[in-house]
Structure 1
């Protein structure tokens, strides 16, 4: 009983439990986004097992609040038009703070185009053999948020404290913040290992916070690589997750033979 009491508000382990829930929820979210959506569906840098691919297509919107097909479509547009006027989310078109709204507006626009079957948009993700998620097809996109809020409230009621539920919700539904950090700061501030035609940067702080995603210059130079870190001091935790999932037999990592050709590092 003492062990249980320690996990309740006021108990010696309550804040530790909140931290664990926040980290685990965040890891679930980032695994979906950076491994399944980004390196898997958008780029094919990792290959999901067929059953896992179907599972992600069905559960993705419920877990992250973001439709996997629409996300992949927007991201492919980002690479095609990176840091140009057609980029769905570039700080060069507004500023680092406005990117938050830019990415949400672009996501909504692309999702609507997919639902309407607009040919030039559907062609971008023609290789993704699953439809837009049920919640978006039925125009009930808000249900995943309602469900996650309900779970968060239930956790708070069960433990008698709101903090645990808040940690669960903000850890799991954190992608808008993650996306904003990457799409804004990692295209504005940082160093460059490669000459690319865009303004992509390697931002170490963002990379550490968002599972390697801050190494945007590395990624834009070699989008087919499952690993975003190319130098000894660069840490890509997303790739570590890829290796764990590969070891569990859930994904494959195709061999990537492009030899990184670095240029002298350019500073912030």
Structure 2
């Protein structure tokens, strides 16, 4: 099978449009379209449905993806840099929670980028996740272990959350330590329950049964800023709150435990760029154990 045509097919499958695939390959969209059409003609199969929003894999296209991924992995192993180290290239897309992506991965990513300058890295850090089962991302860091799909999953790390108050309100800090929040008259900051994107984020009951937020945001980073700015008290992951002079842990003895889970499609697991990123992320997590799960 022609690898040249297959790599165009694979990039369209990953990106969903001719323009984005062309940008990744450094060619124009017309070239990508010609190569994909030539592959479909050679196979006698339609690999994509042309939809207004982009290219969507057909059943035949989905069946071809694992073979294309295997050839991509083989091609990556052939291109070895001097000294036996793989010169990794191509695209790597990670879907991750907004808080972990922006506060943990992003500040540390420079070391991985420097080690693999030919890689194109997409960090999709937002509320909600891309789905590795549908090849929307190479891998995802999730708040719960997926129960279905052709995925390899494992726990990446535990992490802790606590109740935080603004450093500018010592009266609130004292009140929170002496009385239930429901009777303290202090605004509580948290998520909007009707658009909570993961049940693991519904943790106010673990602070006090029946506790509700009166100031709400879908963004944990916005919640952090609101608490530090004096809008109220709220729950934050300790690794997000650490080092912020505007925040004080209000009840140090009260801890909420959660975990991050790593998920990736079985077909991409052997790829060198995937293995390299996972090794790097594991090392960063190990070194930051005290930040993720403070004593």
TM-score, length of structure 2 as denominator length: 0.24
TM-score scaled by length of structure 1: 0.25
Q: Which structure has the greater CA radius of gyration?
A: 2
